[in-house]
Chains A and B, each alone.
Chain A
Amino acid sequence: MTDPLVRPKRKDPLKRTRMPLAPPAARSRTAHGLTAAAAEGKFALQVCSDCAAVTYPPRDACPSCLSPRLPFMPVDNRGTLVAETTVHNSPEPYFRERVPWRVGVVKLDVGPSVVAHLHGDTVEGARVRLELKLDKIGAPVMIALPAKETPNMQDDPQLREMTCDPKFRRVLITDGRSAVGQAMAKAFAEAGSTIVFVGIADAWKPYPGMEALRRIERVEIVPLDLTDSESVAEQAEQNGGRIDIVVNTAEHVRAGGFVDRHGLTVAREQMDIRYFGLVRLAQAFGPVLRGRGADGVNSAAAFVNLLSVHALMNWPAYGAYAAVEAACLSAAQCLRAELRPGGVKVVNVFSGPLETEWFQTVPPPKVAPAALARAVVDALKRGLEDVFVGDVAEDVRARLAVNPKALEREISN
């Protein structure tokens, strides 16, 4: 059984903040098949298209039949922990600071044996589940978890190195005026976040749900306007050092594309709130997040972007909106590279139309704000990087993988 995580003591202000270090990051191009699976929380290994052998570590030819056709496929992740050891010393600076560190060999039921990190509740000789995770530098690693849930399992220190669990972390929800922002505040409070900062722009304008938002435990309303560089900078100056997870809930959804829209006012607002808002957050909060990636139990952990899945393929009915979302996705990819050295994950959460007033005329399936919030918390607990929430998001992703051109034509009809 894992010792339950305790709320960290207040920091000794005379001590230097521990600097983030990276575990070894080098992976072959083929091995990034594991990165792709880990990013979405899947378990995939190479399966030979010719002889069906499952192989690990990643290779360019099948060790059984020498076939080069070795795609990554979802496989059963169950196995047995056949050997375990505890590392007490390591030449790697990252592990030196974290020893003792348990590793072991897991014999997977599907064939290969894997050297993996070990959850504290795994026992030599017992059944385990292997999960693919992204470590502090975003490289794919495997961790063996006990076959069944154990008490406080999520609090295991080795597992927590690979996740962004909101428990005892402080989160900033950038916009609390919307249903999504409010659902997010509730979900993080329930997930055990120590402080849920919720940004409100133009506090003189009332908004639906204001009273309910204020009543959520550990919610602290703060002035924050993503369209105002000074406001974002001031919030980062005041609270940046004690914000571990940023969830950008700012949204600006309007139906329509370009040809039938009059002028640029709405387009500018969309870019200002979404794209420039993200840039402002990145500039203001990025440096301090990146500097606090190894700052103990409540280290900086994640920057969450809520994106339309139509960032991946434009949906002309909401075409201008989708174009801005695509810009945000591109910015998020840059931010991911910039924050990775600090051990801070950029989590992109894609969804289709939401159950909100701006998608009122769109028929279901739509994603409820509470479902989106649950998906975000779940993604952080599991340490995911790319998340697809709801039927539309999954459908777009699947069709994009098969034939992007077909999707482009079909989505515009």
Chain B
Amino acid sequence: MSSVDLLAFAQAVASGKIRVIDLTQTLSQEFPTIVLPPEFGQCAPFRIEEVSRYDERGPAWYWNNLSMGEHTGTHFDAPIHWISGKDLPNNSVDTIDAAKFIAPAVVIDCSQQCAADPDFMLTIPFVEAWEARHGRIGPGHWVLLRTDWSKKPYPQYAGMRDDGAHTPGPEPAVVKWLVEERDVHGFGTETIGTDYGQGQHFNPPYPAHFYMHGKGRYGLQCLANLDQLPARGAVIFSAPLKIKQGSGSPLRVLALVSGED
């Protein structure tokens, strides 16, 4: 097998022949963080404290101290995040093989369905219909769910009502099927979590977490700009911070897309 020309790759990026699309939300204090019932431990929202800004605290330099949870903002879920993945080898962000952070993706567009129905549920027939149009999902692919949720104002984005969140996501069967029948790399969404807003009422609860992490697959959430990706052919760079025994991490998610010739 001949070697790959990485210089040509770099030149293609520089020239725009390969487009780099940022799938990341800006880390800001206002961005919604997952909400659990208040008696549970909570994921810390993003916070920033100025250390100095060319002032008496540091005359020539500007910098900040940050604090946040591992699951704040656009973030990566490692298998150790869920109880179903707790005993897998290399299941935390510091031990996952770095090659796993680069993988191809398919994008399943259900933005039209979600526009009319915040409780839209991804099912096997929906994915099969997608495959009929775009071809079978290959092994080792990220499955990214385009809902256009990232474009919504925060109250609708979080979708909080008195019975919990109402945001689109997958039913249990389709997650199990994607893992077992399609051997996917992981599942990514625009919403706060990879799961359906009312996913706690499924059996098992939170199936995207349960099945994906139970089989050593990954999660990406709070993604943006999925509308700029093709149904297939994008390559995702998603390297989390190397946190000791980390269950996940905020990260910059980049997609490489072949540009127009």
A residues with CB within 8 A of B: 202-206, 225, 227-231, 263, 265-266, 269
Contact = CB atoms under 8 A, between A and B. Distances in A.
B154 interface: yes
B151 to A, nearest CB: 15
Nearest to A233: B50
B118 to A, nearest CB: 14
Contact of A227 (B47, B153, B155): B47
B48 A230 contact: yes
B245 interface: no
A37 B32 CA distance: 48
The 3 closest A-B pairs by CB, nearest first: A204-B154, A204-B155, A228-B29
A229 B48 CA distance: 8
Counting chain A CB atoms within 10 Å of each CB, which of B29, B49, B158, B161 scores highest? B29
B158 A269 contact: no
Interface string B23-56: 0000001001001000001101101111000000
A266 B160 contact: no
B157 interface: yes
Contacts of B5: none
Nearest to A223: B30
A265 B45 CA distance: 12
Given A265-B41, A265-B42, A204 B29 contact: no
B29 A205 contact: no
17 contacts: A204-B32, A204-B153, A204-B155, A205-B32, A205-B158, A205-B160, A206-B155, A206-B160, A225-B29, A228-B29, A228-B47, A229-B49, A229-B50, A230-B48, A231-B29, A265-B41, A266-B41
Nearest to B31: A204
A39 to B, nearest CB: 35
Contact of B154 (A203, A227, A229, A263): A203
A265 B154 CA distance: 25
A204 B157 contact: yes
Interface residues on B, range: 10 to 19
B41 A204 contact: no
A206 B35 CA distance: 12
Given A229-B49, A230-B48, A202 B32 contact: yes
A206 B41 contact: no
Nearest to A204: B154
Interface string B153-184: 11101101110000000000000000000000
Contacts of B42: 265, 269
Contacts of A204: 32, 153-155, 157-158, 160
A265 B67 CA distance: 12
Given A206-B162, A230-B29, 4 more contacts: A204-B158, A229-B48, A229-B49, A229-B50
Contacts of A228: 29, 45, 47
A205 B41 contact: no
Contacts of B161: 206
Contacts of B32: 202, 204-205
A203 B49 contact: no
